[in-house]
Amino acid sequence: MSLSVNDPSLTSWVEVAKDSDFPIQNLPLGIIQMWNEKPRVASRIGDFAIDLKSLYVLGYMENLAFSADDFDTNSLNKMMKKGKLGTRKLRERISKLLQSGTSDLKNKQHHVDQILIPMEDVTMLMPIEIGDYTDFYSSEQHAFNVGCLFRDPENALMPNWKHIPVGYHGRSSSILPSGVDFHRPKGQMKPPTADLPVFGQSNLLDFELETAFFTYEGKPLGGSISTTEADDYIFGMTLLNDWSARDIQGWEYVPLGPFLGKNFASHISCWIVTLDALEPFRVPGPVQDPKVLPYLEYTGDKHIAINLDVLIQPEGKEAVSVCTSNYRHMYWNMNQQLAHHSVNGCNIRTGDCMGSGTISGPEVGQYGSMLEISWKGTKPFAMPDGSERKFILDNDTVIMRGYCEKDGVRIGFGEVAAKVLPAN
**Cβ atoms within 10 Å, residue 164:** 14
At 147, give phi and psi (nearest 5°): -60, -40
Which residue, among 356, 133, 338, 352, has the nearest Cα to 230 in the 3D structure?
A: 338
At 29, give phi and psi (nearest 5°): -130, 145
* Bridge-based pairing state of the strands 353-355 and 133-136: parallel
Q: What is the CA angle 389-306-26, rounded to 5?
A: 125
**Cβ atoms within 10 Å, residue 47:** 16
CA–CA distance, 77 with 163 (Å, rounded to integer) = 33
CA–CA distance, 258 with 265 (Å, rounded to integer) = 13
Give, as one character, the DSSP assignment of residue 410.
Answer: E
Q: Which of 110, 111, 142, 163 is catalytic?
A: 142
Which residue, among 308, 324, 306, has the nearest Cα to 365 in the 3D structure?
A: 324
For the chain, the first-to-last Cα distance in angstroms comes to 51
CA separation, residue 371 to residues 197, 277, 367 (Å): 21, 33, 9
Q: Is 142 designated active site? A: yes
CA–CA distance, 214 with 327 (Å, rounded to integer) = 16
**Enzyme catalytic residues:** 142
